[in-house]
Structure 1
Amino acid sequence: MTRSTIALLAGLGSLVLSSCANVAAAPQAAPPQSAEEALRPYYATLDTNVPQANAGAQLDISRAISRIAFGSCNHQNRHQTIWSTIAAHNPELFLMIGDNVYGDFGYRGEADLGTFAHAYQLQASHPEFIAFRNQVPMLASWDDHDFGPNDSGGAFSFRERSEQLFESFWRSSDAVRARPGIYDSVMIGPEGERVQLIILDTRFFRDPLVSLPYSAERRPLGHYGITDSPDATMLGAAQWAWLAGELEKPADLRIIVSSIQLLTDAHNYEKWGNMPLERERFYRALAARNGGGMVVLSGDRHSGAFYQATPEALGEELWELTASSLNLSFGEGDTGAREPDPIRRSGFYSDENFGMLEIDWAAGEVALNLRRSDGESLHAERIRFR
């Protein structure tokens, strides 16, 4: 070995040692604190051109509104004929209550949520849906099947990707995009005819539900029990704080959108009653509102029904209309015999259906109507709100 070779090797050795010293001295990046944080670099590499619904009609919040349609449980693979029926009732706004697509159809746990993106892409392509959006403004919440797997909640590791897909498809407002979760509030109309829409997110922050003990017998009405844990949350701290602020705003009528049912305790599927302390907290928050009547709209159940109760923590009568499903019914006619319920004020209709809410400002009344997919009324109620 020549002296020049020895000198070259010595120089390289010094350079390597110097580099190792620098590496050793460099600060180490903190490890990710959650699966979500670990996934963010990966999600940043994905195609950001995610599916979007057509731009559609815009809601004029300066004008009083009197006709709102709503529904839930719309499968992207099934017929879309109900949209023309709803449009024929001339709603000024349509609310998607949840399960607006079934992104978990064929889902096998992939982090990119490819089946969810495909579901949105297919829904966006349906001519009936495009035509409806061109005619009627739409606002949306989500439920489990367009959020994640069946009955999923805040423990779903890929919820940030799910939120990105939802907010892109539904063209969510800047306010919604700026915070975790998809909860929203919209104030419509002038003083004296002011409607506040409060659209809750019962998925992104919700703690896991408590399962009932195993039984060899089939459970036709669900398998979730109740938890009395004071730490269990439905909405999460940030959404609770936001809700308190929204309820401080004056309104003449407040329409509360919850993807899952609020009032009933007649089944063991997902519902607010699985977390009774959270439900009591919600009633107290509503009781402390700055005026205005209220009505609750919900979905999820693949059946439609009216409910009325006077919760002690609320101290006043409250009506809820569940409208479900738009195109994925699991039966037909009144199937209420399988689910006796002392607070249900109608049949339990398994036909494909949608809901209509009509405001009579002069009389201070709301007309609620559950309509079958052919437009026929299944049940109607008229409720005073002032």
Structure 2
Amino acid sequence: MKNYFFSLVGTAICCCFLTGLTTTTSICDAAEPPAWESLFNGKNLKGWGNPFDWGQIAVSKDKEIVLRGERKYFLVSDRRFKDFELEVELHVPAGGNSGIQFRSHYHHNRLWGYQAEVDTSDRQWAGGLYDEGRRAWLVPLKDNPTAQAAFKNSAWNHYRIRAVGDHIQIWVNGIATVDTHDAVTSEGYIALQHHGEKGLTYRFRNVRVREIEPPPVLNLITFGSCCRQEREQPIWDTIAAQQSQLFLMIGDNIYGDSEDIDILRAKYEMLGSNSGFKKLRATTPLLATWDDHDYGVNDGGVEFPIKKASQQLFNDFFNVPQGAGSRRHQGVYDSHVLGPVGKRVQIILLDTRYHRTPLLKWPKDERKTPGPYAPNSDPAATILGAEQWRWLEQQMLVPAEIRIIASSIQFLPAEHGWEMWENYPRDRNRLLDLISSSGGRSIVISGDRHIAEISKITIGDRQFDIYDITSSSLNVPSGGGNAGEPNRYRTADDNYPHVNFGSIEINWDKKDPKIELKIHDLQGQAVFLNQFRLSNLTAK
């Protein structure tokens, strides 16, 4: 398959950041945008309106929009915008509070949506990302002194906002203040805010926008897990040869296994210096989550003492931008929506380590599985933790045609007794119910096991399928030690015990897209293949 995304290497803005590159590889940005278009003609308010019953708005002789008022209100554009760059110059006096809304929506006397903050207070959060009328702060600037210093009180300030797909960026006076991903709203109106400070005048000028073409379609995704950094890694060349548009590293990306952060760092550096891995990063966008060994402890969970430092190291190695989900909360979980409307693929990266309660072992004389771990039905036992569950429930409401849920441990297999979701049956059932209630259309990818297999369950009452495609290992295969392992959901007679990687290929040409799940060997040949239509994944 020809990789049309390769033409985007080196574009100015990037959706996935690849360590060690002088240019960046993008999976969501489009081609060079057209010329700028003015949204304010400097003479009157043509193209703008006030949906509120209050507020004083004028145009000055200096070609400025002038806002005054005693209650919060917004001047709203007549047009809606989806993917765009927006530039605004504004002057807000000391003591004032304002904002630039984008991808926003409104009713009479109410508005909600994304806001680039304008804040003259001592906290210095101007340039942060706020969700007006919904979730409040998304990216505050309390831990970013460079961004906090960008805004100049009682002076003209230049704002630049770029929104492409789920990728949102903000600059104030040329200084980057926000670089994050959020997919709750994909289009909407632009608006200028007066926060209601009596007697204060807010001025805006040189308001201009340029719309950006929709992001390219995502057709081919590759993924894998379990790479020992000190061993040979010939599989990177094979994966690079697939010319996929995205590679997902879904856990055990290194074998760190240490509470010494310097040891973990050295092992990441060893992986980063591998020539095959460097080649893959230079040509293929990459997203990642972790499992136990790169987290830092075998089969570890919430009890790991240096998990916060380990998360920081993970984020730094994978160049996770400031303001992205993995930087904002405890755990490396995150989500990205790629592709245009009608062909959107949501990548949900779960963290099955940071909040996971300790595993429950079988009593020696009661062991019923090949592995040592028993189901834990305690209502307090969890894989994801309460915060990540709330986040995931929100993500499953985000508009997308297909969701790929990356879980470092197997989701469907339930009989082997090693690490798997069945160790926490309440969480497993909760995710099955969540996929069903959000319409299906979800594929789970997993790793960890040093084998490869494709599992499938049919949800009878809503007549749709869920697949769990397991790819492991990139260079540490079981070699056959798990042959004959029970798995009633497996779609083949046995698992594949040798070096492998996985792929998901989506053919969008038909009204009902065709999807292929494959496990590939070291030479790139498919050893397992499942083919179906998107309708097979869709809850009825």
Where on the TM-score scale, by shorter chain, does this alignment land: which range?
Answer: 0.7 to 0.9
Q: Which amino acid aligns with 2:268?
A: Y
Q: Distance in 2 between matches of 1:210 and 1:340?
A: 20
- Provide the residue aligned with 2:247 in structure 1: 94
Inter-CA distance 228–335: structure 2 relative to 1 (3 Å threshold):
closer
Inter-CA distance 216–263: structure 2 relative to 1 (3 Å threshold):
closer
Quote the offset at 1:374 in angstroms. 1.4
Aligned mate of 2:360, from 210, 217, 227: 210
Q: Distance in 1 between matches of 2:296 and 2:421?
A: 19
Q: Distance in 2 between matches of 1:74 and 1:381?
A: 25
CA contact (8 A) 1:283 1:314 kept: no
Q: Does 1:73 align with 2:39?
A: no
Q: Distance in 2 between matches of 1:63 and 1:196?
A: 14
CA contact (8 A) 2:356 2:382 kept: yes
Higher relative contact order (CA 8 A, sep 6+): 1
Q: Distance in 2 between matches of 1:183 and 1:146?
A: 14
CA contact (8 A) 2:369 2:415 kept: no
Q: Which amino acid aligns with 1:204?
A: Y
Aligned mate of 1:125, from 273, 281, 293: 273
- Provide the residue aligned with 2:504 in structure 1: 357
Q: Does 1:373 align with 2:522?
A: yes
- Provide the residue aligned with 1:134 in structure 2: 282
Q: Distance in 1 between matches of 2:462 and 2:354?
A: 25
Q: Distance in 2 between matches of 1:310 and 1:375?
A: 29
SS of the residue corresponding to residue 168 of structure 1 reads: helix
Unaligned ranges ≥5, structure 1 = 1-51
Aligned length: 326
- Provide the residue aligned with 2:488 in structure 1: 342
Quote the offset at 1:292 in angstroms. 6.0
- Provide the residue aligned with 1:316 in structure 2: 464
**Per-residue CA shift, 1:172-227, capped at 9, x if unaligned?**
1322211111001000011110111111111001111101112599x983100011
Q: Does 1:306 align with 2:492?
A: no
Q: Distance in 2 between matches of 1:292 and 1:205?
A: 26
**Per-residue CA shift, 1:309-332, capped at 9, x if unaligned?**
125697631111100000111205
Quote the offset at 1:139 in angstroms. 0.2
Q: Which amino acid aligns with 1:307?
A: S
SS of the residue corresponding to residue 269 of structure 2 reads: helix
CA contact (8 A) 1:294 1:385 kept: no
Quote the offset at 1:63 in angstroms. 1.6
User: Which runs of structure 1 show a deviation greater than 4 angstroms over 4 or more consecutive aligned residues?
Assistant: 311-315
CA contact (8 A) 2:227 2:252 kept: yes
Quote the offset at 1:288 in angstroms. 2.1
With structure 1 as the length reference, what TM-score do the two structures score? 0.80
Aligned mate of 1:60, from 12, 23, 28: 28
- Provide the residue aligned with 2:379 in structure 1: 230
**Per-residue CA shift, 1:138-175, capped at 9, x if unaligned?**
00010000002100001111100110110100111322
CA contact (8 A) 1:307 1:343 kept: yes
CA contact (8 A) 1:251 1:292 kept: no
Q: Which amino acid aligns with 1:54?
A: G
Q: Distance in 2 between matches of 1:179 and 1:294?
A: 24
Q: Distance in 2 between matches of 1:99 and 1:150?
A: 10
Q: Distance in 2 between matches of 1:282 and 1:340?
A: 22
- Provide the residue aligned with 2:175 in structure 1: none
Aligned mate of 1:243, from 389, 392, 415: 392
Quote the offset at 1:372 in angstroms. 0.6
- Provide the residue aligned with 2:412 in structure 1: 263
SS of the residue corresponding to residue 283 of structure 1 reads: helix
Inter-CA distance 239–354: structure 2 relative to 1 (3 Å threshold):
same
- Provide the residue aligned with 2:100 in structure 1: none
Q: Which amino acid aligns with 1:131?
A: K
- Provide the residue aligned with 2:136 in structure 1: none
CA contact (8 A) 2:295 2:307 kept: yes
SS of the residue corresponding to residue 237 of structure 2 reads: helix
Q: Distance in 2 between matches of 1:283 and 1:311?
A: 9
Q: Which amino acid aligns with 2:20?
A: N
**Per-residue CA shift, 1:269-301, capped at 9, x if unaligned?**
010000101111111211222x46121100000
Q: Distance in 2 between matches of 1:283 and 1:292?
A: 9
Q: Distance in 1 between matches of 2:482 and 2:449?
A: 12
Quote the offset at 1:341 in angstroms. 2.0
Inter-CA distance 312–232: structure 2 relative to 1 (3 Å threshold):
farther
- Provide the residue aligned with 2:309 in structure 1: 161
Q: Which of the pair is proportionally richer in helix?
A: 1
Unaligned ranges ≥5, structure 2 = 1-17, 30-214, 536-540
Inter-CA distance 154–247: structure 2 relative to 1 (3 Å threshold):
same
Q: Which amino acid aligns with 1:196?
A: Q
CA contact (8 A) 2:440 2:464 kept: no
Quote the offset at 1:384 in angstroms. 1.4
CA contact (8 A) 2:222 2:248 kept: yes
Q: Distance in 1 between matches of 2:456 and 2:366?
A: 34
With structure 2 as the length reference, what TM-score do the two structures score? 0.58
- Provide the residue aligned with 2:43 in structure 1: none
CA contact (8 A) 1:57 1:136 kept: yes
**Per-residue CA shift, 1:337-367, capped at 9, x if unaligned?**
2x12221112301100000110011231210
Q: Distance in 2 between matches of 1:167 and 1:365?
A: 34
